A and B are shown apart, each in its own frame.
Chain A
Amino acid sequence: MTTTPLAARGPRAWWRVPQRQVPVLATLALLLVMYGIGVSQYRAFSNIQVVFNIFIDNGFLLVVAVGMTFVILTGGIDLSVGSVVAMTAMVSASLLGDGVHPAVVLLIALLIGPALGFAMGCVIHFFDIQPFIVTLAGMFFARGMCTWISSTSIPITDGFWTSAAQERIRIGENFVTVSVLVALVVVAVAAYTLAYTRLGRNVYAIGGNQQSALLMGLPVGRTKIAVYTISGLCSAIGGILLSFYTLSGAPLIAIGMELDTIAAVVIGGTLLTGGSGYVFGTVLGVLVLGVIQTLITFDGSLSSWWTKIVIGGLLFAFILLQRLVGIRKK
């Protein structure tokens, strides 16, 4: 996170932070403050397992948000993620119920999301229709498919799934689940892709200025299709992780998840206009959402709707911060 690949690196005082990293650092500071408040208010909060639980409870959200980061970095948006997560979980649950081998189910589940993402990317690129509308249609489509498969929740009893769900990986006194490991691998691969590969550079270039990227001869179309495919793949992985977590597929699951992921990406300091942001910021954004929920759970007297109000307030604060940073840069 210390490299500034596209900005000129002139001589500067060591305490000056590059401006594009200010939002990420602000999120980090916020996260630490919130965690500090939790620890000072509730004795059990200092338990390391609390931190691990945030990861366990939000592993699928983390994976989906990583995919969304790619899309938003190009200046697009993907509203279909929540529905694709639900569809993946439904397809897995229904196929497993039919007695299909888990490996085959895994493969099919991992193919559907990217296929839909690829199709949406193609429509966005070739027919020049706004991502907002295309992914909205994708959202309707995937959600419709869920109920079409089954209008009720399907439980999963498959051995592989239950063992993946219940496996506890011990770290000293505490534990994490398989989902957390998968999520961390996805984060690592995504961070590497964005920072060090040609695809990553193209993503930033398109988000910075699509016309310039086109004039530079970058494969704009291919990259745009790729980011929606990546987002679809991440949603599919997220769907499988969610089916590990709940051991069922339900048609109404993960409603509104697209908002949570967009909020996490924005709070993580990625500009919604594209071109600036880091996967690490998204991880912090998801953790902020997780800590808010944990704080509200620990408090006990606050109702769940406060989560939404607090997230709205945080969104406002961070967008304002980005705006101020943006103005100073000009």
Chain B
Amino acid sequence: MSTARTRLAGVTGHRLFWPLVVLVVLLAANTVYRPSFLSVELKNGHLYGSLVDIVRLSAPLILVALGMSLVIATGGIDLSVGSVAAVCGAIACLYISEQPDQNSLGAVLTAVAIAFGVALVLGAWNGILVAGIGIQPIIATLILMVAGRGLAQLVTSGQIITINSEPYKTIGVGHLLTLPFAIIIALAVTLVVAVLTRRTALGMIIEAVGGNAEASRLAGVRSRRITFLVYVVSAACAAVAGFMMTANVSSADGNAVGLWVELDAILAVVIGGTSLAGGRFYLSGTIVGALIIQTLTTSVYAMNIDPQTALLFKAVVVIAVCLIQAPAFRARFRRRHAPTAAPATPAEKQKEQVPA
């Protein structure tokens, strides 16, 4: 009896438990609303279905959220990812639109390479401000968030650049080995990040910097270099997401590309159980978080609700997930409803709250 209870507490106490419950509930609600929701079929060698669509559409968010996880793990935050995505998408589309043959693979690769290079520069700018000059991350990246939108509009001259390039379109809507190409890119980046951070000491070093940058420096970690690096990686991820977003619609709109994606990415990370205070990160949680957000968005669209009203549902889910995960809330709930229950798994040691 007691072992069963402990085992149950072990399952419900797992950090992925509640996010997964939310995801399953969302999927179940969709299936009730539309019974064909869960069906996946193979057409012309490509997989089709709502589930595949959700994963494909969440690919850009997964990418941005992966970079954001690493940044948040160091105790930082990157508000500029949406703007970086917009700038990079705009540059790539601008370059392609100026080529005589928009379908040339070489031109597309050059465009992507140029835009990616710009992303690295933008990430380095954030990194220098945070790691070099020591500016609070939320402010340092706010600069690029505001100015980046202006830059994206500057690149496109305030117009929407439309392109007609099959190779570039592939990034967003193409298929490879029956799977949408976007999913494969997201999967590959996830694998690379996961292997680098979980199969080497890099992940632990990043967490050490987030736990206490000064202490990790004294322990021999080049904490500034690590901090610098995560902002560059975050910008690089944002750039790839920007390519996907613009490739999806074959056009670049400096105003609209990646709008609010930084907030969605931060939400995905937080829903995944990573604390904004830094020191820990959970890549699997982040991906579940991103899937929850995309499922929510897709299902709200499927129910013919205005996209803006979808925010209402998002707000409810955000608060619910955050409350469920907040130790203070759980303690209160436990005290009130199960005063005699044995103390469950010891609450995670809480870090001193850092005002965001």
> Residues on A close to B: CB < 8 A?
74-77, 123, 126-134, 136-141, 143-148, 151, 210, 251-252, 259, 262-263, 266, 272-274, 303-309, 311-313, 315-316, 319-320, 323
Q: How far is the CB of B262 from chain A (nearest CB, A)?
A: 10
CA A136 – CA B319 in complex, angstroms? 10
B residues near A139, Cβ cutoff 8 Å: 315
Check A144–B310 contact: CB distance below 8 A.
yes
Check A130–B276 contact: CB distance below 8 A.
yes
> Residues on B close to A: CB < 8 A?
77, 129, 133-136, 138-140, 142-151, 153-154, 157-158, 254, 263, 266-267, 270, 276-277, 306, 308-316, 318-319, 322-323, 326-329, 332, 350, 353, 355-356
Check B356–A305 contact: CB distance below 8 A.
no
Check A77–B138 contact: CB distance below 8 A.
yes
A residues near B318, Cβ cutoff 8 Å: 133, 136-137, 140
Report 29 cross-chain contacts, Cβ distance below 8 Å, ordered by A residue. A123-B319, A126-B332, A127-B322, A127-B332, A128-B326, A132-B138, A132-B266, A132-B356, A133-B267, A134-B322, A140-B314, A141-B311, A144-B315, A147-B306, A147-B311, A148-B309, A148-B312, A252-B308, A262-B142, A305-B150, A307-B150, A309-B150, A315-B139, A315-B143, A316-B129, A319-B143, A320-B133, A323-B134, A323-B135
Q: How far is the CB of B21 from chain A (nearest CB, A)?
A: 19
Of chain A, the residue at the smallest CB distance from B148 is A312
Q: How far is the CB of B332 from chain A (nearest CB, A)?
A: 8
B residues near A77, Cβ cutoff 8 Å: 138, 355-356
Q: Is the interface of A mostly helix, strand, loop or mixed?
A: helix
Check A305–B309 contact: CB distance below 8 A.
no
Closest 6 CB pairs of A and B: A312-B147, A144-B312, A308-B150, A132-B356, A147-B308, A305-B153
Inter-chain contact count A-B, CB under 8 Å? 153
A residues near B144, Cβ cutoff 8 Å: 312
Check A311–B149 contact: CB distance below 8 A.
no
CA A126 – CA B136 in complex, angstroms? 26
Q: In the complex, which of the residues A251, A273, A311 contacts B308, with contact meaning CB atoms closer than 8 Å?
A: A251
Of chain A, the residue at the smallest CB distance from B149 is A308
CA A307 – CA B158 in complex, angstroms? 13
Of chain A, the residue at the smallest CB distance from B307 is A147
Further contacts, 20 of them, CB under 8 A, given A129-B322, A151-B306:
A77-B138, A128-B350, A130-B276, A131-B356, A132-B276, A133-B266, A133-B318, A134-B319, A137-B315, A137-B318, A140-B314, A144-B308, A252-B308, A272-B139, A303-B153, A305-B149, A308-B146, A315-B139, A315-B143, A323-B135
CA A127 – CA B328 in complex, angstroms? 5
Check A316–B356 contact: CB distance below 8 A.
no
Check B308–A146 contact: CB distance below 8 A.
yes
Of chain B, the residue at the smallest CB distance from A312 is B147
Q: How far is the CB of A232 from chain B (nearest CB, A)?
A: 15
Check B315–A138 contact: CB distance below 8 A.
yes
CA A88 – CA B309 in complex, angstroms? 16
CA A221 – CA B129 in complex, angstroms? 33
Q: In the complex, which of the residues B77, B145, B315 contacts A140, with contact meaning CB atoms closer than 8 Å?
A: B315
Check B139–A313 contact: CB distance below 8 A.
no
Q: In the complex, which of the residues B138, B153, B267, B353 contacts A128, with contact meaning CB atoms closer than 8 Å?
A: B353
Q: How far is the CB of B183 from chain A (nearest CB, A)?
A: 27
Q: How far is the CB of B130 from chain A (nearest CB, A)?
A: 11
CA A308 – CA B146 in complex, angstroms? 6
Check A319–B151 contact: CB distance below 8 A.
no
Of chain A, the residue at the smallest CB distance from B80 is A312
